[in-house]
Structure 1
C-alpha cells in the first residue's frame, strides 16, 4: 500500500436530506482507516429549493446551463457545503490537515442516453470556502467526477463500486458478495475478488416512498419503515410496477431519481389505498427490484452488505432478505458506516482522480475502457 493521505469526502444524495462529510485515510487503492463523519441536514427551504431545481433541470440540454432556480440552488448548495466543512473542522480539528477533498455536488438531471449528467456545485467557489473553513493552502478539491465517463459513452453511475471493492478486501466476507446502496435510487456492486466489480442501478430505493410519504403526511420519510410495516402489500400493483422494462434490462444501466415517478403514479393505483398499504407496496417494490437484478449477475452472492439511508429501515431489510434468500447485513454491523459510505467513497475517488487512476469500468458504467475523471482546483 502506498502512503495514505487524509481525504474529506462530501456527498449530497438523491434523498436530498443534507450534506454528508466524512474523513478517510487512503491511497486511492486501499483503505487505511476511517475518521469521523457527520451529516448536516438541509433546512426545509433548502430542500424545497433543490426539489424545484430538479424540476427546472428536466428540459436541460446543456450541462452548464442554469435556468430557472438552478443558479440560486447552486449558490445555496455550494454555500451549505462550505458551512458543513467549517462545522466539521471546528468539531474535528485534524480534518483541517486534509490534503484532498472530493465534492460530488447535487445531481439534478441524469440522462446518460443523451450523454448528459448535471451536478450542481461550484468547485472554484467551494475551494474558496474551504480555505475560509480552515483547510490548508495547497490542498486539492476534486469535483465533477461523472462527466468524463458520460462523455466517453458510459452511464456515469454508479461511481462508488471501486470503493466497495476496496472495502471488500478489509471485510474478508465470503465471496462473491454484494454491496447494496439504498439511497433515493438503489444500486448494487458485485465483488468476486478477482475481476473488476460489476455494478448498476436496480431501481427506486427510498425516492418513491419518500415522495409518497411527503404527499400523504407532509414528512418525506417513512421513519424506520414503521408505516410500511403496518400496511399490506398490494400484489397486483406490485406486479404492474415490476413490468417496467428497466428491471429486466441487462447492465450497464443507471437511473435519475425521478425516473419512476410518473410510471408509479400511472400504474401503482395507490390513490385509493391507505398510507400504510401504499408505503408497504412501494417498499416491496424496492426489495423486489433488487431481487430482479440477481439473475443478471455471474453467480449468486453469498453475502449482502447494505448502506445508505435505507439500511436503517428494518422493514425494507426484512423484505430484501426474504426476496434475495441471503442475509442482508447493515454496514454498521460490520464496522462500516451506512450513512458515511458514499461520502467516504468520494474522498477515495478524489485521491484516485489526482493519481489518474480509473473511477469507472466497462463492468460498472459501460464506459468503453477504464476511465479516470474529475476536475481539480488547488486551495490558495
Structure 2
C-alpha cells in the first residue's frame, strides 16, 4: 500500500500592511510570529492620496469615489506585497495570511449608531496577491460596544512588556496613541490626540512640504500660549479612557476656527508640536504616573524637536526609540496587523476590552480567502 503524500507544511509567515492617518503611504512587513523578517515602504500615488484625504470630509458622490479609492488602496497594497515578497525571497505559498488595515476615512465609534470605516477592497487584494487576506479588524470591536481603537496595545504587551515595570509605548502617526503596560500585568491604551495630521497639514499649506523634517520649522517658531490653551480646551482631551479619535475631529478646519488674524505660520507650527507633546505628557502622567520608560514609534518618533519636548516634559521617564527594542519606528504598526492576522487564523481574540471598552474579548477581522 502506497504511503500517503506528506502533508503540506503549515505556513508560519504573515504579512502586515498598514497605511495610517498620516497618509504617508503603505508599510509592509514580513512577520514570523516573533520578529520582522523584511520591510518595504511605498508612498501612495499622489492622486489616490489626495482622494483619500478628501474622503475624510463629506463631499459629492462619496459612495462611488469611496469604492474606487478602496480599489486603489487594494492595488497599492498588492504592489507593495509583491515588492516585499521579491525583496525577501519569499514565495506567496509561504504566507499564511495578509493582515491588511485599510485606510481610515471615518471613525465615529461613539456617535450615530457607532461605526468605523477603513477603505480597502479585500476581495480584490486576495485576487491580486493569491494570499488569504484578513482585514476590517476594527468593526467587530465596535459592534461589541468598543471604540475599535487602539488595537495595538495587546501586540505592544507581547513585544515590549517588562515584568515588574510600568512601561508605556507611544505611537506617533497621524494621531498619537499610548499603550500602558503596567508592572502588574494590566494593559491600557487610548488615543491622546493629534500628532502628524495637523503638523503635516499646516506645513503643506504654508511651505508645500509633506512633513516638517526633524521638527525644524516648529523649532524656528515660538509657542503661542493663548492658542495652545484654546486647542487644549477641546473636550476630547478631558475625556477619560477608553477613547479614540481621528481626522473627524482633528483637521485643519478645526485648527482654523481657533486662529486669529496675523499669526506667524512658524509660531502656529511650534504650537501644534507643543499641543502633541503636552497632550501626550499630560495623559501619561494622569494614567501611568509610575512610568519608567516611554518607547516611541511611528513617523513622529523621527521628529527630533518633538522628542526633545517630550523628554523635557517627562524628565523622570526614559524616552527610547522602538529601534532599541528590535523594531524600527516605521515597522511597529504593520507588525501589529500581521500579528492580528495570526490571532484571527488561530481564533484568538485581538482586542482588549479594558482598552477599547468592548463588552468582551473578540476575534477581530474578516477573511477573504485566496
> When the two structures are superposed, what TM-score results if normalisation uses the length of structure 1?
0.89
Q: Distance in 2 between matches of 1:78 and 1:222?
A: 29
Paired residue for 1:215, among 189, 199, 205? 205
- Of 187, 203, 219 in structure 2, the residue corresponding to residue 229 of structure 1 is 219
Superposed displacement of residue 190, structure 1:
0.3
User: Do structure 1's residue 6 and structure 2's residue 3 form an aligned pair?
Assistant: no
Measured in 2, the distance between the counterparts of 1:155 and 1:111 equals 8
Q: For residue 295 of structure 2, what is the aligned residue in structure 1? A: 305
Mapped to 2, the partners of 1:298 and 1:235 lie a distance apart of: 26
Q: How many angstroms apart in 2 are the aligned matches of 1:174 and 1:319?
A: 27
Q: How does 1:23-38 map to 2 (within 5 A)?
A: 23-26=30-33, 32-38=34-40
What is the CA-CA distance between 1:336 and the residue it aligns to? 1.4
Q: Match of 2:352?
A: 361
Residues in 2 aligned to 1:66 and 1:281: alpha-carbon distance in whole angstroms = 34
Unmatched segments (≥5 aa) in structure 2: 1-9
Is 1:78 the counterpart of 2:74? The answer is yes
Summarize the Cα distance change of 1:219–1:258 in structure 2 as closer, same or farther, 3 Å threshold.
farther
- Deviation sequence 1:79-121 (CA, Å, 0-9, x none): 1111111122122222632112101000000000131100100
- Alignment map for 1:176-325 (pairs within 5 Å): 176-261=166-251, 262-269=253-260, 272-325=262-315
CA drift of 1:206 comes to 0.7
The structure with the largest alpha-carbon Rg is 2
Contact 1:174 1:302 in 2 (8 A): no
User: C-alpha distance in 2, partners of 1:207/1:110?
Assistant: 15
User: Which residue does the alignment assign to 2:120?
Assistant: 121
Q: Secondary structure at the match of 1:69?
A: helix
Q: 2:19 and 2:270 mapped to 1: Cα distance?
A: 26
Q: 1:216 and 1:258, CA in 2 relative to 1: closer, same or farther beyond 3 A?
A: farther
**Structure 2 counterpart of 1:91, from 78, 87, 102:** 87
Q: Which residue of 1 aligns with 2:148?
A: 156
CA distance in 1, matches of 2:146, 2:334: 22
CA contact (8 A) 2:160 2:325 kept: no
- 1:140 is aligned to 2:132: yes
Deviates more, 1:331-340 or 1:259-268: 259-268
Partners of 1:148 and 1:205 in 2: how far apart?
Answer: 26
Indicate the RMSD between aligned Cα atoms, in angstroms.
Answer: 2.0
Answer whether contact 2:19 2:102 (CA < 8 A) is retained: yes
Provide the aligned length of Structure 1 versus Structure 2: 356
Q: CA deviation at 1:248?
A: 1.7
**Does the 8 A contact of 1:176 with 1:190 survive in 2?**
yes
Distance in 2 separating the partners of 1:227 and 1:295: 28
